[in-house]
Chain A
């Protein structure tokens, strides 16, 4: 009797859990913990980036269990919600670098705006030339910006925010891998320039890589993440209209 009832009861519990937020939330946290552990064990190897690993594992779990993203997001939204306050919190490291920023205000603004426009325009032009539809073109515009801001920009411009999240992630992983070799090849040795470039071109993932080399680079990277979010939010709609997308 008990043997017959057990699977049925478990099934009911499963159905119950699937309809609520707990499962999506807990699995996100567990997978993240595992990915962070793996990253530590491999001494921060490029392939073991915890964000990439977590997304790959969770996406695989959803596909294998035939769970919809909608069902997963009932729990995932609670993690995602914190992106808003985290974006606001970027003001704290920005404030800490205010003095350095003031001394280099003009170079920072000029280099940052140039880098921001270069990133958006080149990405949009390339995917457009290679035949991508308008929503993909719009979604790639904020790809160098940190995820919470980039998704907000994509949403406001009529792009696909989750596609933007994927583009932002690809940019960050690629940027984190190539930034140091590229700076070496171009003889960019100034730590401030390295940080500003990393934060502008490939947001937090490049900045995290540069922070391992230099505190100054990390500080300028943090500054660039916030500023580039701001600059792209203002410029992207203008650029899109200007380019006729």
Chain B
């Protein structure tokens, strides 16, 4: 488990270094994800501890969102000032994105399995 966490952190670190060195506006962990995927392809699949560790992390992903979300206490003013804009933008853009992606995928992948 410690080995798996170390590998995840190393991927994140290398991703962060590459993103900064190249000046790309991509978060380090996202590049780390790509590096990890390449590593898994080379290795032909995750080790058992990596499978277990990633599953544990992803199954409890919700908890990891909480501290950032509590930051809402600092943004109450901004939210209140833009309440109408946000209350319209979030549902409309979400419905559009769900509909566009779903309809396009169903159309383009018809016949394929």
Tell me, rounded to whole Å, the shortest Cβ–Cβ distance linking A192 to chain B: 6
The answer, yes or no, to whether B66 is at the interface (CB within 8 Å) is yes
Q: Which of B43-86 contact A (CB under 8 A)?
A: 45-46, 50-51, 53-55, 57-58, 61-75, 78-79, 82, 84-86
The chain A residue with its CB closest to the CB of B109 is: A107
The answer, yes or no, to whether B22 is at the interface (CB within 8 Å) is no
* Among B41, B68, B105, B113, contact of A151 (Cβ-Cβ < 8 Å): B68
Given contacts A85-B8, A86-B57, A153-B27, contact A193 B94 (CB under 8 A): no
The interface size bin for chain B is: 35 or more
| B88: chain A residues within 8 A (beta carbon) | 126, 130
What 1/0 mask marks residues of chain A from 221 to 243 whose CB sits below 8 Å from any chain B CB? 00010100110011011000000
B70 touches A76 (CB 8 A): yes
How many residues of A are in contact with the other chain, CB < 8 A? 111
Tell me, rounded to whole Å, the shortest Cβ–Cβ distance linking A36 to chain B: 8
Q: How many A-B residue pairs have CB under 8 A?
A: 329
B102 touches A143 (CB 8 A): no
* Among A77, A160, A186, contact of B67 (Cβ-Cβ < 8 Å): A77
B102 touches A174 (CB 8 A): no
B58 touches A90 (CB 8 A): yes
The chain A residue with its CB closest to the CB of B72 is: A166
Chain A, interface SS category: helix
List chain A positions with a Cβ less than 8 A from chain B: 24, 28-29, 31-32, 50-51, 54-55, 58-59, 62-63, 69, 72-73, 76-77, 79-80, 82-95, 98, 103-104, 106-108, 110-112, 114-116, 118-120, 122-123, 126-127, 129-133, 136, 140, 143-144, 147-149, 151-153, 155-157, 160-163, 165-171, 174-175, 178-179, 182-183, 186, 188-190, 192-194, 196-198, 200-202, 204, 206, 224, 226, 229-230, 233-234, 236-237
